[in-house]
Amino acid sequence: MKKLTHFVAAAALATAVAFGGSAMAQNNETTDLYQILERVTTKETPSYVSLTPKMQSLVTIATLATLGDEDLLASNIAKALKDGIAPVEIRETLYQGMAYVGMSYITRAEKVFMEECEEAGVALPLPSATTVNDDNRFDEGLKVQKGIFGAGIDAMHKAAKEDEKHLSIDLLTGFCFGDTYTRTGLTLKEREFLTFVYISALGGCEPQVKAHAAGNISVGNTRQMLIDALVVMVPYIGFPKTLNAFGMVNEVTAK
pLDDT tens digit sequence for 5-45: 443 344 344 334 434 444 444 444 579 999 999 999 999 99
Confidence of residue 183 (pLDDT cuts 50, 70, 90): very high
Which string of b and e fits 20-37 if b means at least 16 CB within 10 Å? bbbbbbeeeeeeeebeeb
Q: Which residues contact 179 (CB under 8 A, 6 or more apart)?
A: 98, 99, 132, 137, 141
- 206-243: per-residue pLDDT in tens? 999 999 999 999 999 999 999 999 999 999 999 999 99
Judged by phi (left if over 0) then psi (alpha if -120 to 50, else beta), residue 204 lies in left
Question: Contact, 88 vs 125, CB < 8 A?
Answer: no
Taking residue 92's Cβ as centre, other Cβ atoms within 10 Å add up to 21
Question: Contact, 76 vs 16, CB < 8 A?
Answer: yes
Tell me the angle at which helices 188-202 and 137-149 cross, rounded to the nearest 10 degrees: 80
CA-nearest of 23, 135, 30, 130 to 79 is 23
pLDDT over 60 (residue 205): yes
CB < 8 Å & 24+ apart, contacts of 141-145: 141/173, 141/174, 141/175, 141/176, 141/177, 141/178, 141/179, 141/181, 141/182, 142/173, 142/177, 142/178, 144/177, 144/178, 144/181, 144/182, 144/188, 145/172, 145/173, 145/177, 145/181
Angstrom distance (rounded) from CA 182 to CA 169:
17
Amino acid at 178: G
The rounded percent of the chain whose pLDDT value lies above 70 is 89
Q: What residues are paired with 27 via a beta bridge?
A: none
pTM of the model: 0.89
Residue 203, classed as helix, strand or coil, is coil
Question: Contact, 71 vs 16, CB < 8 A?
Answer: no
- 102-141: per-residue pLDDT in tens? 999 999 999 999 999 999 999 999 999 999 999 999 999 9
Q: Which residues contact 55 (CB under 8 A, 6 or more apart)?
A: 20, 190, 193
Largest CA distance in the chain: 63
Of 36-45, 76-85, 175-184, least confident by mean pLDDT is 36-45
The values of phi and psi at residue 36, to 5°, are -65, -45
